[in-house]
């Protein structure tokens, strides 16, 4: 099993997580031109579970360190399996709200508000579970991220009605997403061993925990995604037959790619959590808010219709995010 042995490498993996978690939404934006987000989501979920399975059978099964993927799955306790599975169910609920918010309000709003709020909640929750890092520096970083979230919401409020579809609904979905998203990671961490080199009996390593999480995500999609298919946040309802009749190989591939990108980020975050600590690993990974905001502002031009002065708010938002993330990294080495 491949694991990391140094904090520096763990931080590097968290940075990759940040890039992956902040960039997968581009695949939804690409597909949404001709493909409803509910249909995109099925391919996204399949991309996650396939990537997690491949990673377990390759990276999680080679080398002499720790337990191999299948052996680890076979010895996992029901408590550990259930915890990782629940993590997938909770994440799926939150992520459905996120993709709905992206569809309505755009990446530059959904990610900073939804995932930014998840960062704040998740760091606190995971620090309580495993208190690693200087709490003063860590929570100072979290506070700056929280300020960045507020600034982003203010900037979004300045968009004229023609520049946004439904401000209230977009903000509401983002906030609800953030509240739910803040807790999924802790359930996965709870299912994992504290040492990946010599994992205790009954607990799982990141590869098996990620795979069980993906199963929870896939199974619960038949509940959460079916609900928003037939009772969408906006627009007409979507039928299962639409997935097969309207989908093209290119559209399916885009969704699978989006899921695979997110899955790489999640796996790297969990692998890094042993050396970095869950709070820092999760918090740094959720710096994806800044990455997604960059895509939304500069590539997708989601604030092009904003009045004069809004760019200063956006610049301030990026500044608070960057400094806040820097403090989160420094909290472990201070």
Q: Is 241 exposed, middle or buried (0-12, 13-18, 19+ CB in 10 A)?
A: exposed
Pick from 42, 91, 31, 97: nearest CA to 232: 97
Structure tokens given for 105: 């309000």
Tens digits of residue pLDDT in 187-216:
999 999 999 999 999 999 999 999 999 999
Tens digits of residue pLDDT in 228-251:
999 999 889 999 999 999 999 999
Q: Distance between CA atoms of 287 and 213, rounded to whole angstroms? A: 22
pLDDT tier, 108 (very low <50, low <70, confident <90, very high otherwise): confident
pTM of the model: 0.88
Percent of the chain whose predicted confidence (pLDDT) is above 90: 65
Flag whether pLDDT at 147 surpasses 50. Answer: yes
pLDDT of residue 261: 97
Flag whether pLDDT at 162 surpasses 50. Answer: no
Cβ atoms within 10 Å, residue 234? 11
**Helix ranges restricted to H, 247-309:** 249-276, 278-285, 288-294
Q: Is 204 helix (H, G, I), strand (E, B) or coil?
A: strand
Mean pLDDT, the chain, whole residue set: 91
Q: Distance between CA atoms of 32 and 28, rounded to whole angstroms? A: 6
Long-range contacts formed by 153-158: CB under 8 A, 24+ apart: 153/109, 153/113, 154/313, 155/303, 155/306, 155/310, 155/313, 155/314, 155/317, 156/105, 156/108, 156/109, 156/113, 158/306, 158/307, 158/309, 158/310, 158/313
Work out whether the CA dihedral 74, 79, 82, 86 comes out positive or negative.
negative
**Domain map of the chain by residue range?**
7-330
């Amino acid at each position: 099993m491949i694991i990391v042995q140094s904090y520096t490498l763990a931080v590097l993996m968290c940075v990759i997580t940040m890039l992956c978690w902040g960039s997968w939404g581009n695949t939804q934006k690409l597909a949404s031109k001709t493909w409803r987000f509910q249909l995109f989501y099925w391919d996204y979920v399949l991309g996650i579970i396939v990537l997690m399975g491949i990673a377990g059978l390759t990276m999680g099964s080679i080398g002499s360190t720790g337990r191999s993927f299948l052996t680890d799955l076979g010895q996992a306790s029901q408590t550990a399996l259930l915890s990782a599975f629940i993590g997938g169910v909770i994440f799926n609920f939150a992520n459905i709200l996120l993709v709905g918010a992206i569809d309505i309000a755009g990446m530059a709003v959904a990610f900073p508000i939804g995932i930014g709020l998840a960062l704040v909640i998740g760091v606190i929750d995971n620090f309580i579970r495993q208190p690693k890092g200087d709490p003063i520096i860590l929570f100072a970083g979290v506070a700056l991220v929280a300020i960045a979230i507020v600034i982003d919401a203010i900037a979004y409020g300045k968009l004229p009605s023609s520049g946004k579809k439904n401000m209230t609904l977009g903000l509401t979905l983002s906030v609800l997403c953030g509240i739910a998203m803040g807790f999924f990671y802790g359930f996965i961490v709870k299912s994992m061993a504290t040492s990946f080199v010599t994992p205790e009996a009954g607990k799982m390593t990141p590869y098996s925990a990620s795979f069980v999480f993906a199963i929870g995500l896939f199974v619960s999609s038949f509940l959460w995604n079916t609900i928003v298919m037939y009772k969408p946040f906006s627009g007409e309802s979507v039928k299962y037959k639409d997935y097969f009749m309207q989908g093209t190989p290119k559209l399916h591939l885009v969704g699978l790619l989006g899921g695979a990108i997110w899955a790489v980020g999640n796996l790297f975050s969990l692998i890094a959590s042993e050396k970095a600590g869950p709070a820092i690993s999760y918090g740094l990974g959720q710096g994806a808010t800044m990455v997604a905001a960059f895509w939304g502002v500069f590539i997708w031009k989601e604030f092009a219709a904003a009045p004069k002065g809004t760019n200063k708010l956006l610049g301030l938002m990026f500044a608070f995010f960057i400094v806040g993330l820097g403090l989160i990294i420094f909290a472990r080495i201070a």
